[in-house]
Structure 1
Amino acid sequence: MSFSPEANSDVPTLPKVHSGIPPYLLDKAREAKQDVFAGRTKAQNARQRLPVVPQGIERDDFLKALDELREQLGAEHVEVNNKPLRDGWYMEHPNTHDMMTILDEEELVASAVVFPGSTQEVQQVVRWANKHLIPIFPISMGRNLGYGGAAPRVRGSVTVDLGRRMNAILDINAEDYTCLVEPGVSYYALYEALKARGLDEHMWIDTPDLGGGSVIGNAVDRGVGYTPYGDHWACHAGLEVVLPSGEVIRTGMGALPGNNSWQLFPYGFGPFSDGIFSQSNFGIVTQMGMTLMPNPGGYEAFMYTFPNDEDLGPLMDIIRPLRISNIFENVAQVRHVTQGLASRGLPRSTYYTSPGPIPSSILRAAAASTPVGDHAWAYYGMAYGPAHIRAHKLALIDSEFRRVPGARKIDPSTLPPDEYFWSRERVARGVPDIQELAWVNWAPNGAHIAFSPVSPIRGADAARLFELGKRRVEAAGFDFMPAFVVGLREMHLIVEIVFDRGDVGSKKAALACLRDLVDEAAAMGYGEYRTHLVLMDQIAGTYGWNDGALMKFNEKLKDALDPNGILAPGRCGIWPKRYRGRGWEMTRESGGRSEGDGVGPA
């Protein structure tokens, strides 16, 4: 293992650092960091480097433009990216590149990072970019790990880090159960704010698996959590957005001066424009309202296991009517034993040291030695409400699940405090955690990239996707880690490919596998809901009904709103006119090259 000063530094904490860990998770975060660095063999980058200048601008002109921006924002708020790239880890991640890169780490890299401190300073940055025709790439906190992190899609873009100086919780309304936040507010920070105000027993947040990400960033990218409020985009109400021209708008009721319902009613009057700022490059969200969940008056986590891979289909057909009728109230997970074992945080070499996927017999034997016991699938759920209501729902669930031969209900009292079940229990009651990080330690220099198609909650669909994923992932030499995240009428299959980012062969195999999965799933009628930067062009291309009518519509919006093409070009496969037809799209044929051949005139 190579020495790194990062390994010996302490974990940043709230409220000292906006991106820090809350004190109640500090010991757990220290342990997680120790585990991450214990598995790191990749040498630290020591390459001396000049800033990568974006195509279409001369180096001297670029450096002069940065000097101009320093005068506007303050020199301390503009940083040139001319130092060796550091990997960091979840709590101390880079904002210059993708720490879990699946390409060469110099491929998707920023030229500089700027830190605006207000909506007005975001406007200044956008107008500056238009003046000099410099691409900018906004991030909230850059923790979209597994999907590209903080990396810009266009090499040499200037990253606009909104989190460092725009991290205020602008409002928490205890009567209406709403909040209004800036991009640098994490789930950790929002939860701590509720506790500080004595509101954490009154209202809950909805948090993803890891709580360090931005509330705005996760919702805008349509991420999910695990309470009944798990569809984060559906739970937002009201945006403040800086357009690519530098203008500012407020959507919904916020467009009415002096309104008092901005976080209560998302639609306002006229067209509902919020959607174009989700998974797009049409604007920079600087404020967003979210609804918060009232305390339901009680909760009870539960877990069932099922013995066979083949139980997946019947299980999903049991889950569907219960989920649609809200007997299953929260966004729950059905996890395969492979990821369950990996979630214990131990490297796969603990169980198996030969090349190729771990044999099922070894996985099952290892699972049998854990407190949960041998199984193929585990369902993690939560019942809410007073005890008599919970008892009624849990009895219905129990009778239905026991239709699967060999189904077992796990008694939580038999599980130790560090068992993964308790992390799922905390998250399902709105308490952010950090334990989900553990399964990335499965591989040396662990990194991950996800295949995440959407399908109906049907046994036949689950079985098809399981077969596709297992066949492709194991053929590529990786262990198959599927989890089904069950929404109200659909489910997301999340297949995490955990690879060694210090090994070129491992990275190439993971990317090739993902490309195969995307194409084959699309041919079967399953589309991705979210993806890594390097797959955005390919996946956007699968949404090609009527000769690509949707992308043509998106391009019209892009050209109207961003005629100079400065805002996050290429994000979600949407390219401005200056870049189109010049080879910027990343496909299987383009290999690991992210750049095209120049840009056109403004």
Structure 2
Amino acid sequence: MSIPKPDPSLSLTPTLSDSHSGIPLPLLEKATHAKSLIYAGKTVPDTVPLTRGLPIPQGISASTFHMVISELKTLLGAQHVELNDAELKNGWYMQHPNTHDMMPLLHSEEFIASAVVYPGSVEDVQRIVKWANKHLVPIYPISMGRNLGYGGAAPRVRGSVTLDLGRRMNRILSINEEDYTCLLEPGVSFYALHEEIQRRGLGDKMWIDTPDLGGGSVIGNTLDRGVGYTPYGDHWAQHAGLEVVLPGDDARVVRTGMGALEGANTWQCFPYGFGPVSDGIFSQSNFGIVTKMGMTLMPNPGGFESFMYTFPDESSLAPLIDIIRPLRISNILENVAQLRHGLQTLSVKGLPRSTYYTGPGPIPQEILSEHLSRTATGDCAWVYYGMSYGPAHIRKYKLDVIDAEFHKIPGCRKIDPSKMPADEYFWSRDRIASGTPDLEELKWVNWVPNGSHIAFSPVSPIQGKDASALYELAKKRHAEAGIDLMPAFCVGLREMHLIVEIVFDATDEGVRKRAERCLRDMIDDAAKLGYGEYRTHLALMDQVAATYNFNDGALMKLNNTLKDALDPNGILAPGRCGIWPKRYRGRGWELKGGETSSEGKGVAPPTGEVKI
């Protein structure tokens, strides 16, 4: 009798002791379970042969490309340069590709790298930048490539050479327990930073702020202006000092803020320095490659207490948001909390949609209510997850105010945490809001087979009328597309992000097109009402950038001026956030919807160079 071989796709996830991108050992069992749920819904193999061969960037011949890649191997070491000429390997969140998007909105061979290079130092990054300028090869830097839902590790221009900064540049350079700051390289994940703080015995003194999933790069998430869920949830606001390699042919290294002072001892303490503050041009841009970043760390507040309220009717949204606004601005509601739709209570359990409903179109309300009534949360339209910080008597004062205000909404229920099962999603939010990275959020992607997602992410004031307007336009477009609606409002101090996750089967071209159409329609609808996206998928960047159109697109004209000055040869991440180098402009590279190819019609030779 032959013994069947184990499925390699279900092998254990590497831990942090194995890899910079690994899972903390305490989360290994959870990671194994999450992975098994994902693979239970996969209907396609992880590895797929390339059908179009080696993706070579436009403007360079295949023979020349092979020649210049050989030169790069000589510069960096052959073991640090890998061609992407055979197959696509997808994996999952913790074992993801760095050559393409594992959750493709277009065909998986559209946004795809020709090669991946692994620099081990700032000097290596400089060598690569000089090489790219010499041969006019587009390069695309990633920290760890886990920006799933927004394009992952994929380059915007097909055939770009990806710089994976995380594999060999993953040191925690300092943790200052007096100033509550740290200095990091791109390959440091939220998991790794948290575990190092615990290892040093500082966990009772300081916290990190983590997003929903902790496997991403701290630097990568911050540069994309991601958020977490403690009072330090605005990650870009918590950064303090950058080191950047500029994309010009001299690959100049710049330190911003106080770091521009040789021997500065306040780099992470004061982010501004002297003169213009240049840090902002390196977030959500293609103006430089960030090789180091400082971050502030949160002092342990001396206690914390999670709470959860449910609200029965969708119509509660507007009055509830109007109650939340003054509480949030005055810091009675202290953290970047979430108001989530009831459907997510089901989807985050990680079971397929077919567990609850097998019919066409969005899941009917009566079916949703029936299944929600069997959960610990109960039947509800909205769930508010929050946390209070500080000693018990301070928490009690704030929690009593919150309770009285929330109960002004008819049918409001405060859920008793002591009655929540240990595996209830509430406890994941409890960990995240107290600075401990988790892995639960990934599970709602299993709602459909081969689950992938993209996000509608507009920003609005914390006003009931704004929340209602955004929710209604999302409902309309989701109904047209036949897609289940999963919205969550993340409430900052004076604004809120609506994050609507569109979950789709990446292997179904028709579903992918419906998902894209739904998102593009919502972006246009929101822009007409005055709401702009704060972040988007690679395929939508041109459209979103075009909505920021004040004064005949003056902002993009400024961005183009900066791009041409800093990157005259247009080698760094062309097209990122809709910013195209001069060589690409006017050649059909912009994606506005409905295109079958992500490529334009060639590139022009560089002319009219302006050097800084």
Same fold (TM over 0.5): yes
Q: Label 1:599 to 1:529 Cα distance change in 2 as closer, same or farther (>3 A).
A: same
Question: What value does the CA root-mean-square deviation take over the aligned residues?
Answer: 1.0
Q: In structure 2, give the amino acid aligned to 1:540.
A: A
Q: CA deviation at 1:340?
A: 1.8
Q: Does 1:243 align with 2:246?
A: yes
Distance 2:527 2:497 in 1: 14
SS at match of 1:110: coil
C-alpha deviations, 1:98-143, integer Å up to 9, x for none? 0000110001100000000011100000000000000000000000
Decide which of 489, 510, 517 is 1:512's aligned counterpart. 517
Hey, what does 2:178 align to over in structure 1? 175
Map of 2:406 onto structure 1: 401
Amino acid at match of 2:16: L
CA distance in 1, matches of 2:97, 2:482: 29
**1:111-510 equivalent positions in 2, closer than 5 A:** 111-245=114-248, 246-510=251-515
Q: Deviations over 1:1-59 (max 9, x none)?
A: xx995423220110210000000000000000000000001344134663211000011
2:226 aligned partner, one-letter code: G
In structure 2, distance between residues paired with 1:396 and 1:558: 50
Q: Name the CA distance, whole Å, in 1 between partners of 2:260 and 2:288.
A: 16
CA deviations 1:343-364 (Å, max 9, x no partner) are: 1111100000011110011111
SS for the counterpart of 2:34 is: helix
CA shift at 1:321, angstroms? Answer: 0.1
| Alignment equivalent of 1:575, drawn from 574, 580, 583 | 580
Q: Are the counterparts in 2 of residues 6 and 88 from structure 1 also a CA contact under 8 Å?
A: no
Q: Deviations over 1:444-473 (max 9, x none)?
A: 000000000000000000011110001101
Q: Which secondary structure does the structure 2 equivalent of 1:92 belong to?
A: coil
| Whole-angstrom distance in 2 between the partners of 1:161 and 1:337 | 38
Query: Contact (CA 8 Å) 2:285, 2:576: kept in 1 or not?
Result: yes
Identity percentage of aligned residues: 68
Deviation by residue 1:140-174 (Cα, 9 ceiling, x = unmatched): 00000000000000000000000000000000000
Q: Distance in 1 between matches of 2:315 and 2:57?
A: 51
2:77 is aligned to 74
Aligned to 1:16: 18
Partners of 2:535 and 2:218 in 1: CA distance: 17
Match among 584, 602, 605 for residue 601 of structure 1: 605
1:578·1:601 contact (CA, 8 Å) conserved in 2?
A: yes
CA contact (8 A) 2:541 2:577 kept: yes
Deviation at 1:309, TM superposition (A): 0.2
Whole-Å separation in 2 of the counterparts to 1:48 and 1:309: 47
- Paired with 1:496 and 1:275, the residues of 2 have a C-alpha distance of 27
TM-score for both structures, normalised by structure 1: 0.99
CA shift, 1:372, in A, is: 1.0
* SS of structure 2 residue aligned to 1:466: helix
Counterpart code for 1:274: D
* Letter aligned with residue 598 of structure 2: S
SS of equivalent residue, structure 1 residue 229? coil
Contact (CA 8 Å) 2:452, 2:506: kept in 1 or not?
yes
- Residues 1:537 and 2:539 are matched in the alignment: no
SS in 1 for 2:467: helix
Rounded Cα–Cα distance in structure 2 between residues aligned with 1:282 and 1:46: 34
Unaligned runs of 5+ in 2: 607-612
Once residues 266 and 332 of structure 1 are traced to their aligned partners in structure 2, the CA distance between those partners, rounded to angstroms, is 26
Partner SS state of residue 89, structure 1: coil
| 3-state SS of paired residue (2:498) | strand
How far apart are the structure 2 equivalents of 1:592 and 1:571?
Answer: 19
Contact 2:311 / 2:409 at 8 angstroms: preserved in 1? yes
| Separation in 1, partners of 2:351, 2:505 | 15
**Distance in structure 2 (CA, Å) of the matches to 1:67 and 1:393:** 63
Tell me the alpha carbon deviations over residues 290-323 of structure 1, each in whole angstroms, 9 at most, x when there is no partner: 0000000000000000000000000000000000
SS at match of 1:601: coil
Given that 2:50 and 2:109 are in contact with CA atoms closer than 8 Å, whether structure 1 keeps it comes out as no
Q: Distance in 2 between matches of 1:205 and 1:6?
A: 34
Kindly state the Cα deviation for residue 83 of structure 1 after the two structures are TM-superposed.
2.0
Partner of 1:25: 27
Contact 1:327-1:393 at 8 Å conserved across structures: yes
CA distance in 1, matches of 2:6, 2:155: 26
Q: Which residue of 2 aligns with 1:528?
A: 533
Moved more, 43-52 or 374-383: 43-52
* 2:89 counterpart residue number: 86
Deviation at 1:84, TM superposition (A): 1.2
Counterpart Cα distance in 2 of 1:370 and 1:134: 54
Amino acid at match of 2:155: P
Contact 2:50–2:85, Cα closer than 8 Å, also in 1: no
Residue 98 of structure 1 is matched in structure 2 by 101
Q: What CA distance in whole angstroms lies between the structure 2 residues aligned with 1:371 and 1:528?
A: 34
Deviation at 1:197, TM superposition (A): 0.3
Kindly indicate whether the alpha-carbon contact (under 8 Å) linking 1:452 and 1:530 is maintained by their aligned counterparts in 2: yes
Of 60, 64, 80, the residue aligned with 1:61 is 64
Output the CA distance in 2 between the equivalents of 1:39 and 1:414: 31
Secondary structure at 1:383's aligned position in 2?
A: strand
Kept in 2: contact 1:100–1:447 (CA 8 A): yes
| 3-state DSSP of counterpart to 1:394 | helix
Give the TM-score normalised by structure 2.
Answer: 0.97
Question: Is the 2:10–2:35 contact (alpha carbons within 8 Å) kept by the matching residues of 1?
Answer: no
Kept in 1, the 8 Å contact 2:12–2:32? The answer is yes
Aligned partner letter, 1:177: Y
State how far apart, in whole Å, the 1-side matches of 2:299 and 2:86 are.
Answer: 47
In structure 2, give the amino acid aligned to 1:163. G
Provide the rounded CA distance (Å) in 2 between the counterparts of 1:376 and 1:196: 41
Cα 1:4–1:104 shift into 2, 3 Å: farther
